[in-house]
């Protein structure tokens, strides 16, 4: 049964995005520094377009993987023999990837010649996150109390990132928000791995017992221990960014901007 692989792939999708952003945003600021006065550097645009393309590409890969892995639904949605829906959690995950695909397409549109309003990329990222969050929130897990608990815990990371991206629609280029969002993606990614280990142990055997409330309470803590490992990565990324900033000159304006928030760098 391919469920562990599916969960790991989902985890990698989010880990990749989160780690990439933890690298990208410090780099972006170095680049913006070096050619100050030219706020729309070609390098940064290229990075954004490549990011969007990759996101759309991996989302497409995710959609195909959810459908076509052995044991997946292979695009059949209703089993007329059994008179029931064919779902197995694959279809909701496919829908999740679909919205991240839209987000990738919007990234490209915003930064290429079509030039749609710039906040649009963050709005569609927020949309993808809200869609993911509500998909798992409104899902009926029947008696699988532990599965439900695992996805409910994940929704903290999902809705947190969604709120973060929504704020960024109005307040772009706020370093703390961008790296906070990155940290929540890393958390979500590592949690998908955890879900795989709990529900479909790769070394075989059944998943953890769904009914035992001891499991529920341990996993609640475990979720926050994941984040307790993410936080140092986050601080490290901020330190990188800081070093990048110190390397540049004329940082007074910067200081002000960062410490007071809600005002944009003038570069």
Residue ranges in contact with its own copies by CB under 8 A: 77, 84-85, 87, 91-92, 95, 98-99, 102, 106, 109, 114-120, 123-124, 127, 131, 134-135, 138-140, 142, 149, 152-153, 156, 169-172, 175-176, 180, 212-218, 220-221, 224-225, 227-228, 231, 235, 238-239, 242, 258-262, 264
Closest approach, Cβ 77 to its own copies, in A, equals 8
In the complex with its own copies, the residue whose CB is nearer, 16 or 67, is 67
Closest approach, Cβ 177 to its own copies, in A, equals 9
Closest approach, Cβ 35 to its own copies, in A, equals 19
In the complex with its own copies, the residue whose CB is nearer, 81 or 115, is 115
In the complex with its own copies, the residue whose CB is nearer, 16 or 157, is 157
38 vs 31: CA distance, rounded Å = 10
Closest approach, Cβ 261 to its own copies, in A, equals 4
Closest approach, Cβ 96 to its own copies, in A, equals 9
In the complex with its own copies, the residue whose CB is nearer, 16 or 159, is 159
β-sheet bridge partners, residue 79 = 84
In the complex with its own copies, the residue whose CB is nearer, 57 or 218, is 218
Closest to 125 measured CA to CA, from 179, 171, 164 = 164
**200 in Cβ contact with 5 (< 8 Å):** no
In the complex with its own copies, the residue whose CB is nearer, 114 or 249, is 114
The count of residues in the chain is: 267
Closest approach, Cβ 218 to its own copies, in A, equals 5
């Amino acid at each position: 049964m391919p469920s562990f692989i599916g969960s790991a792939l989902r985890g990698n999708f989010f880990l990749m995005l989160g780690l990439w952003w933890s690298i990208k945003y410090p780099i972006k600021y170095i680049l913006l520094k070096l050619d100050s006065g030219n706020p729309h550097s070609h390098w940064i645009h290229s990075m954004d377009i490549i990011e969007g393309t990759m996101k759309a590409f991996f989302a497409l890969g995710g959609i195909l993987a959810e459908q076509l892995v052995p044991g997946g639904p292979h695009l059949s949605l209703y089993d007329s023999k059994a008179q029931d829906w064919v779902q197995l959690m694959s279809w909701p995950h496919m829908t999740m990837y679909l919205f991240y695909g839209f987000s990738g397409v919007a990234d490209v549109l915003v930064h290429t010649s079509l030039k749609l309003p710039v906040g649009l990329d963050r709005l569609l990222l927020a949309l993808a996150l809200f869609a993911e969050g509500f998909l798992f929130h409104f899902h009926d897990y029947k008696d699988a109390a532990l599965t439900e608990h695992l996805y409910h815990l994940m929704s903290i990371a999902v809705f947190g990132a969604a709120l973060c991206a929504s704020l960024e629609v109005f307040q772009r280029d706020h370093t703390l928000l961008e790296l906070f969002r990155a940290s929540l993606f890393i958390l979500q990614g590592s949690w998908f791995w955890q879900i795989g280990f709990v529900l479909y142990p790769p070394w075989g055997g059944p998943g953890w017992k769904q009914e035992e409330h001891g499991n529920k309470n341990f996993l609640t803590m475990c979720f926050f221990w994941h984040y307790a490992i993410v936080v140092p990565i986050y601080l490290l990324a901020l330190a990188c960014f800081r070093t990048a900033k110190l390397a540049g000159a004329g940082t007074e304006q910067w200081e002000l901007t960062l410490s007071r928030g809600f005002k944009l760098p003038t570069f």
